Amino acid sequence: MVPLNTADQETPRERKEFRRSAPHFADRITADGRDGWPVEAGRYRLVVSRACPWASRALVSRRLLGLEPALSLAITDPIQDERSWRFTLDPGARDPVLGIGFLSEAYDARETGYPGGVSVPAVVDVPSGQLVTNDYHRITLDLATEWTALHREGAPDLYPEEHRAEIDEVAEGIYRDVNNGVYRAGFAEHQHSYDDAYRRLFARLDELSERLATRRYLVGDTITEADIRLFTTLVRFDAVYHGHFKCNRNKLSEDPVLWGYVRDLFQTPGFGDTVDFDHIKRHYYQVHTNINPRRIVPLGPDLSGWLTPHHREELGGRPFGDGTAPGPVPDGEAVPEVGRVA
């Protein structure tokens, strides 16, 4: 997750507003290596939490582009402790490639005494053990545009040049009011802040529902970066944001258009096969003790609807454009049964 900050917007006695910290480590891994980090198969390790929507963007992009052989994957425990993301899911509670127990060790290797939060997604340089970047916004764009020499045959173009301006515009509204909007509502410290976030969230969702009523995907007729960014929030909506973050005007499953859209993506290879509902629910309900102090994880909602027919193919569209679907999930990367939709 991206570190969360609250900062005074007026005076200490007036309302506080939720703020999301900007990534501190924004180096880029590029084809020409201009930041000192050239694209190179096997050199880097992507560290994610399956609970985190920002990290899930990178998971989906990596799958769709077929970068699994070139960019290895580390999955953290969904429950953080005082040292943040930890590798307790691995034998010996240490990442088998990086040899560390906590992601903070890669941050410390890069910058001693770094005072900020430890966030995912993060890309770590395996030879040095140093963090390269935690820029969740840029990571997926670079996977799509800078890592092309390592893409699988048939990889889709997730950030087509002719649509980039529109993708950026749509994605900015999604980020402000939906991706970040659910957090602004959930972590609001005053009624005014919550009301504003809630209204903006549902106004944007209504706008997106109207947009998607006559088109299968957000921009053009193929899956793009914009769809990935919206999916990672929508897939968590009924499970955590509706109740836990009080985003409760309606459930996503009560909006026929958005429910069909997100099920269409969920059933597309590369999307639903990266989603772990067990990690998602345990993280939100057990880590956010200021919201849920008793740390009780709800048993619902019923997940069986995710696999029901969506009929979105009737709108046309070509999910992968001129490309093809990704292959099976690599060995060792499948979501455990407890987190999958039955």
Strand pairing class (44-48; 72-75): parallel
How many CB atoms are located within 10 Å of the residue 307 CB?
A: 13
For residues 284 and 43, give the distance between their C-alpha atoms in angstroms, rounded to a whole number. Answer: 32
Largest CA distance in the chain: 58
Helix (H, G, I), strand (E, B) or coil at 59: helix
Is 183 designated active site? yes
Which position among 44, 107, 183, 285 bears the catalytic label? 183
Token representation of residue 330? 């690599």
Print the SS3 string covering 231-291. Answer: HHHHHHHHHHHCCCCCCCCCCHHHCHHHHHHHHHHHCCCCCHHHCCHHHHHHHHHHHCCCC
Give the closest residue to 338 by CA, choosing from 303, 309, 312: 303
What is the token pair recorded at 189?
């410290």
52, 107, 194, 217: the catalytic one is 52
DSSP classification of residue 328: S
The residue type of 269 is P
Alpha helices per DSSP H over the chain: 53-65, 104-110, 136-145, 164-174, 181-186, 191-212, 225-236, 256-266, 277-287
Torsion of CA 260, 262, 266, 270, to 10 degrees: 130
Tokens 């560290």 belong to 47
52 Rama sector, left if φ>0, alpha if ψ -120 to 50, beta otherwise: beta
Q: Give, for 128, the enclosing helix (H) or strand (E).
A: none
Residue 133's Cβ-count burial label (10 Å; 0-12, 13-18, 19+) is buried
Q: Which of 32, 41, 98, 100 is nearest to 71 (CA)?
A: 41
Enzyme catalytic residues? 52, 183
